[in-house]
Amino acid sequence: MNERFDGELFDYLWHLDQDLILMPPQAAVEAVRSDTLLFAMLGVSALIVLLVAVLITWFCLRYRAGSNADRGHRPATKNRHRLELTLALSMFVIFMVFFFWSVPVYLDLYRGPKDALTINVVGKQWMWRVYHPNGIEEINSLHVPVGEPIRLRLTTQDVIHSFFVPAFRLKRDAVPGMYTNLWFTATKPGTYRLFCSEYCGSFHSRMRGRIVVMTQADYETWLTRHGSVPSPAAAGKQLFQAYGCSGCHLGRSSVRAPSLAGIYGRPVPLADGTTIIADEAYLHDSIVRPVKHIVAGYVPIMPSFAGQIPEGEILKLIAYIKSLEPGDWEQGPVQRSDQ
Ligand SMILES: [Cu+2]
């Protein structure tokens, strides 16, 4: 048994108590909301199962062979109608209660608050890479402050993965070429387990990590301790040069390509006559699949960068493009000489 395997076995045994618990801790607002709903549904189902079981037993005893129970036909009365109506209506009411209870729970999971702190997460065989808005990067761990709404924007570098945090009762697929979102507000400081819950290759089971929920004060300390990294936009500016994007896109270049200054969030007219809002997904597509949306008035000469730029760097390029204000590139030569 080599040392590495030894370490893993130890790791496995060490966490066994956490793996085998029946209910993971409730560590987020979302966990409490879905647990309450789940247990209410389980409760109602249990009551109905109980009612059916009691009736079955009662009828078995009452109408058993040889008993002198009345087996004659019931005369058709208005009463029977009322029984059917009551049953149907009460079922309807129960279902409607659950409908109006669960819809907001579901919608909140897919449309979180606008002011949430956005953190990018990229799945990759077999790890989770985390990109904080201030440039801090982590692998297989995610540090967040308690009590603050967090939005995770997920994507993946290779195959489909799924971001699963049992303590938050949250799971969302990370899909290649797509951004999916996950919102949560952690309620208890502590360390929680993170899994990939979509089979993604030989070492899928090792694609685990931890979520560290910290008090505001601890989080501030953590940020300053890791703080002196370039911002994603600054890193993106470097990459924009390194990958030769500036050769086409910057003002002075001879090749005709649209200016990207101030494009984020604006409608872009496309060659097929439609317009599209330049959001993250559009910018991502423009880099890896330029022919998907061709900007009106331009020849589609941009090469596809699919598979050539890691997702983490695409995030930085997008951060750079987002940071540009309209007119930023007008003073082309000045811009270029300081790079
Ligand atoms: Cu995975």
The CATH number of the domain holding residue 50 is 2.60.40.420
In a shared domain, residues 144 and 252? no
159 in a structural domain:
yes
Residue span of the structural domain in which 299 resides: 232-337
Round to whole Å and give the CA distance between 187 and 189.
Answer: 7
* Domain boundary, last residue among 213, 228, 243: 228
Contact partners, residue 277, CB within 8 Å, separation at least 6: 265, 266, 267, 268
16 in a structural domain:
no
Which among 85, 125, 301 has a CA at the least distance from the CA of 206? 125
Give per-residue pLDDT as tens, 272-320: 889 999 999 999 999 999 888 999 888 888 989 988 899 999 999 999 9
In a shared domain, residues 50 and 194? yes
CATH number at residue 329: 1.10.760.10
Round to whole Å and give the CA distance between 154 and 119.
Answer: 9
15 in a structural domain:
no
Res. 15 pLDDT band, cuts 50 70 90: low
In a shared domain, residues 211 and 327? no
Q: How far is the centre of ligand 1, averaged over its atoms, from the C-alpha of 114 (Å)?
A: 28
Work out how many domains the chain is built from and give that number.
2
Round to whole Å and give the CA distance between 138 and 223.
Answer: 12
Residues β-bridged to residue 268: 276
Residue 205's pLDDT is: 87
Give per-residue pLDDT as tens, 173-194: 999 989 999 999 999 999 999 9
In a shared domain, residues 247 and 324? yes
Q: How far is the centre of ligand 1, averaged over its atoms, from the C-alpha of 126 (Å)?
A: 6
- Residue 306 has phi, psi (to 5 degrees) of -60, 135
Q: How far is the centre of ligand 1, averaged over its atoms, from the C-alpha of 203 (Å)?
A: 8
Q: How far is the centre of ligand 1, averaged over its atoms, from the C-alpha of 121 (Å)?
A: 12
Q: How far is the centre of ligand 1, averaged over its atoms, from the C-alpha of 290 (Å)?
A: 27
Q: How far is the centre of ligand 1, averaged over its atoms, from the C-alpha of 204 (Å)?
A: 5
Round to whole Å and give the CA distance between 4 and 13.
Answer: 14
**Percentages (nearest 5) of helix, strand, coil residues in the chain:** 40, 20, 35
Q: How far is the centre of ligand 1, averaged over its atoms, from the C-alpha of 130 (Å)?
A: 14
Q: How far is the centre of ligand 1, averaged over its atoms, from the C-alpha of 193 (Å)?
A: 14
Q: How far is the centre of ligand 1, averaged over its atoms, from the C-alpha of 197 (Å)?
A: 7
Q: How far is the centre of ligand 1, averaged over its atoms, from the C-alpha of 159 (Å)?
A: 8
Q: How far is the centre of ligand 1, averaged over its atoms, from the C-alpha of 157 (Å)?
A: 11
Q: How far is the centre of ligand 1, averaged over its atoms, from the C-alpha of 125 (Å)?
A: 6
Give per-residue pLDDT as tens, 231-274: 899 999 999 999 988 888 886 655 678 888 888 989 999 988 89
* Domain boundary, last residue among 183, 210, 228: 228
In a shared domain, residues 207 and 243? no
In a shared domain, residues 223 and 239? no
Return the DSSP state at 204.
G
Task: Please give the model's pTM, rounded to 2 decimal places.
Answer: 0.82
70 in a structural domain:
no
Q: How far is the centre of ligand 1, averaged over its atoms, from the C-alpha of 50 (Å)?
A: 41
